[in-house]
Chains A and B, each alone.
Chain A
Amino acid sequence: MGDLTNPGSEELKSLPLADLHEAANARFGGFAGWSMPITYPLGVMKEHLHAREKAGLFDISHMQLFDVAGAGAAALLLRTCPLNADLMHIGQSKYTFFLNEQAGIIDDLIVTRLGKDRFMIVANAGNAAIDEAHLRNVAKDFDVSIDALDRVFLAIQGQQAADVLRKTGAPGTDLSFMHGFEPKPGWFMSRSGYTGEDGFEIGLPEADARELVASLLADDRVTFVGLAARDSLRLEAGLCLHGQDITPEIDPVDAGLTWAITKPVREQGGFIGAKALLAKIAAGPRQKRVGLKPDGRQPVRPGAVLVDINGNSVGVVTSGGFGPSVGFPVAMGYVGKAFAPIGSQLFADIRGNRIALHVHALPFIPHRYHKG
């Protein structure tokens, strides 16, 4: 076997609750500039299954919250995102993007309206600096202030997430899916997640976070879940990882994410990338993001080239691994339109070996959100 140590020796940022993960015997690795708990002694397989059936506690403090406030807040979001920010109800959360002028995805985001003139943006860790620069640059023309918040950010996910959270006395357990609010000073909470299960994401001050973690972990239905299982959970749920499945070179049309862009938003235009996006919508996708299921037991990994039966290159794998809940390898990637129908036969070229796989419906496992 080769080198087993984690690559990358760059200076990594530490999570505010790093001591709790160390005490839980987490194995750490670098991700998006942060030293993150990758697995705990339970192991990725059991952590994954536990998060679906019971409740998984994730420390996602690497992610960035932006508090956008001011008379121009809605107008700024109308400019930066293909989103009817002005028509959102207070308390409503929406999945959206920052697009570049070519309609490439700078980042994917969850935006929650907290008030007439206030929004919370949840952005990816790896894009936090780019997002902030972009937002501040566009914001020059608007009456708005942007605050990059320094908070602990926790996710509690799984079929028993609401029940365990309720038992701690935490507020917000009556929220519906894709709604959020500020239950206490310094807290932001939404019913959302990245697993396909019911759950909550909670940004809060460190001292409050330590209390909440302690009372959650006191319930034996709750266990810490690391970044490895977070990835297998989201992949089974068919959710994109920015930097792999969506990038600044990929637009929402090819990514199959135009469901997040409503008809009025398309008609109204006015957001950065609108012209390119509308042209792409009119032209249709050049390629399609699809689910991929290897016929055998061997997983395929990001970067693997997809070929047809004659060996012609027809696409690429962007995410791949094993799906503990479905019990088979799962992957996601882009293929030419002719190969996008479910059931299409493809092959992944893995170090000279051809792995047979079929296009599979996404998600691999049905979402179980609390629609309320």
Chain B
Amino acid sequence: MAVTYFTEDHEWLRVEDGIATVGITDHAQDQLGDLVFVQLPQVGQSLAKGDAVVVVESVKAASDVYAPVDGEVTEVNEAVVSDPALVNSSATADGWLWKMKLSDSNQLTGLLDEAGYKAIIG
């Protein structure tokens, strides 16, 4: 069964069978406004927790999306490259960014659950 985690940096990850699907939260897309550009990592790329993996650009500003845990990229969502607005309209579903194979599932224990994340954004 999939479990969803959140980070203080406004990312969500849905973990199932050792694979995490990663995206930005609905709150994050709302704060950024209309996205116009998304740059994704390469499939096969090794990520260390805290790496700036993805650049998302709104009309006004650029922001980094960080790797929430260590692992290797297994798949990227090309749909958001051709249509960055997908992240605005569906941040937690169709607007996912990349999938990664976890190297250390113990890192998940340091992440937030939905209630914890909601407490942060107020």
Contacts and interface: CB of A to CB of B under 8 A. Distances in A.
Answer yes or no: are A and B bound together in one complex.
yes
Interface of A: 1-2, 4, 39, 43-45, 48, 228, 231-232, 297-299, 301, 321-322, 324, 329
Interface string B69-107: 000000000000000000010000000000000000000
Contacts of A298: 37, 39, 55, 57
A53 B17 CA distance: 50
Nearest to B66: A1
Contact of B36 (A1, A228, A231, A329): A329
Contact of B37 (A2, A4, A299): A299
A228 B32 contact: no
Given A2-B9, A4-B32, A297-B36, A324 B59 contact: yes
Best-buried of B28, B34, B57, B65 by chain A (most CB within 10 Å): B34
Contacts, number: 58
B113 interface: no
A46 to B, nearest CB: 8
B23 to A, nearest CB: 11
Contact of B33 (A2, A43, A231, A297): A43
Interface string B42-69: 0000000000000111111111111000
Nearest to A4: B31
A4 B36 CA distance: 17
B89 to A, nearest CB: 11
Q: Which 9 A-B pairs have the closest CB atoms?
A: A45-B34, A322-B36, A4-B31, A1-B10, A44-B59, A322-B59, A298-B37, A297-B37, A1-B9
B24 interface: yes
Best-buried of A1, A39, A228, A299 by chain B (most CB within 10 Å): A1
A43 B85 CA distance: 12
Contacts of A1: 9-11, 24, 28, 56, 63-66
Contacts of A299: 36-37, 57, 62
B77 to A, nearest CB: 15
Contact of B59 (A2, A4, A232): A232
